[in-house]
Amino acid sequence: MGFSYLVMRTSKQNNSFFPRSAQLIHLPVVAAVSAVVALIALSVSAQTPKATSKLKEETTTTTAAKAEPLSGAQLWTMNCSRCHMARNPGEFTAAQWRTIIRHMRIRANLPASQVKELQKYLEAGAGK
């Protein structure tokens, strides 16, 4: 059972997705696409504080609270669920969490400042 209707046909039949004449521009194309995606993402993230600033007059205290660093619980949700279902703090002991969080810090390239907050949160709720 084929699915040729899904296949994107190009002028290059044998070697690669792009025609040979286009192969030399792979690098700049990828860089350009990445830059565009980065700009879009940055603009999305930049819009968030603008949205909160609109509410500033009404909820000054709320806006101030949002400017605070993320809690360990928020970082746990933000980082762990990117790659897998987040593990409940009670699933490991505090000593095990210290080891696992170091493993994840290195594997997922997590910033040290975030790791410290994560570690506090996980150890506080660690199993016995």
Six-digit token pair at 77?
Answer: 């949700």
Question: In the bound complex, what is the minimum distance in angstroms from residue 60's beta carbon to another protein?
Answer: 18
Regarding 21 and contact with another protein (CB under 8 A), the answer is: no
Using the minimum distance from each CB to another protein, give the nearer residue, 27 or 57: 27
User: What mask, x for binding another protein by CB under 8 A, covers residues 41 to 80?
Assistant: xx-xx-xx------------------xxxxxxxxxxxxx-
Regarding 26 and contact with another protein (CB under 8 A), the answer is: yes
Using the minimum distance from each CB to another protein, give the nearer residue, 38 or 55: 38
Regarding 33 and contact with another protein (CB under 8 A), the answer is: yes
Residue numbers 83-122 binding another protein by CB under 8 A: 83-92, 94-96, 98-100, 102-103, 105-114, 121
DSSP string for residues in 18-82? S-HHHHTTHHHHHHHHHHHHHHHHHHHHHHHHHHHHHTTTT-HHHHHHHTSPPPHHHHHHHHHTT
Query: Which residues are within 8 A (CB) of 114 and not within 5 positions of it... i.e. 6 or more apart?
Result: 70, 75, 79
Question: How far is CA 40 from each of CA 35, 37, 81, 82, 108, rounded to the nearest angstrom?
Answer: 9, 5, 23, 20, 23
* Three-state SS at 17: coil
**Sole binder of another protein in the list 2, 50, 57, 58 (CB under 8 A):** 2
**Sole binder of another protein in the list 19, 27, 57, 58 (CB under 8 A):** 27
**Sole binder of another protein in the list 19, 31, 59, 62 (CB under 8 A):** 31
**DSSP bridge pairs for 127:** 93
